[in-house]
Amino acid sequence: MNWGGPEFVLAIIAISTGGWIVNNWIRARHGYALEDEWGGKTLRADDQAMAQLRDENAALRQQLEVTHQRLANVEAIVTDRGFDVAGQIEALRTERPAQGGQP
């Protein structure tokens, strides 16, 4: 075999390409992300859907956390003593016309 000839270069290219094909076949068979020709990873279609679901789930969790914080603020306002005083004032306003007839 001539080590400096084009046959050797073509053999190395063929072996490298064959190895890349076998590597991607094994990855696809076992559910891993595939490598593209530049060494990056390509997600399968169902992996992309899962990534979208994870992103949506994270956004919904964040929105739920904000809602919980707002609800805690509303609960603090409702259970605050000032809210009770306002309710007592409103009760006095509704009782007064019934007692004396004067507003």
Percent residues over pLDDT 70 in the chain: 73
Give the mean pLDDT of the chain: 79
Q: What global pTM score does this model have?
A: 0.38
Query: What is the model's pLDDT at position 32?
Result: 75
What's the pLDDT tens digit per position in 38-72? 666 666 666 677 788 889 999 999 999 999 998 98
β-sheet bridge partners, residue 41: 35
β-sheet bridge partners, residue 35: 41
Tokens in use for 47?
A: 């992996």
Residue type, 65: E
Task: With beta carbons less than 8 A apart as the criterion, state whether 35 and 20 touch.
Answer: yes
Task: With beta carbons less than 8 A apart as the criterion, state whether 2 and 8 touch.
Answer: yes
Strands (E), the chain: 34-35, 41-42
Query: What is the model's pLDDT at position 67?
Result: 94
What are the boundaries of each domain within the chain?
Answer: 1-42, 44-103
Q: Look at the alpha carbons of 8, 14, 18, 21 in this order and tell me if their dihedral is positive or negative.
A: positive
